[in-house]
């Protein structure tokens, strides 16, 4: 899900095509909450590597934390809004949670909707 806005639009276009063909679409959005959402890192220099491009950035996390969290919240809201717009069930999953706990919570919620 971490991509530029154009590719996100392409992804949702493909998901919308599934919805159009009467498929039920569930998006399990997996993140490491402490690092990806809250940007919790020790106060020391880090080198961050872009997984797609290989670009490397050296910085102190506290220098960009507030800006990063703000942009990440905006991104999460955009994904949530798109899912709502296309009637796609989005399940936010934190990697720190056990898989069985995440699936159990999802199935309980889903069972209540039936």
**CA–CA distances in Å: residue 20 to residues 11, 15, 96:** 14, 9, 34
Q: Which stretches of the chain score pLDDT less than 70?
A: 1-6, 113-114
Residue 63: the pLDDT is: 94
90 C-beta neighbours (distance < 10 Å), count: 19
Paired strand residues for 31: 94
Number of domains in the chain: 1
Residue 103's domain comprises 5-113
Residue 113: the pLDDT is: 66
Residue 24: the pLDDT is: 87
Q: For residues 70 and 37, what is the distance between their CA atoms, to the nearest angstrom?
A: 10
Residue 23: the pLDDT is: 86
Residue 9: the pLDDT is: 84
């Amino acid at each position: 899900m971490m991509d530029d806005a154009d590719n996100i639009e392409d992804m949702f276009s493909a998901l919308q095509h599934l919805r159009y063909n009467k498929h039920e679409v569930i998006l399990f959005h997996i993140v490491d909450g402490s690092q990806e959402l809250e940007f919790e890192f020790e106060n020391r220099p880090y080198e961050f590597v872009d997984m797609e491009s290989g670009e490397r950035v050296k910085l102190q996390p506290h220098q960009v934390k507030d800006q990063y969290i703000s942009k990440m919240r905006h991104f999460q809201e955009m994904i949530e809004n798109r899912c709502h717009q296309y009637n796609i069930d989005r399940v936010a999953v934190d990697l720190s949670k056990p898989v069985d706990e995440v699936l159990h919570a999802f199935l309980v919620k889903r069972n209540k909707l039936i």
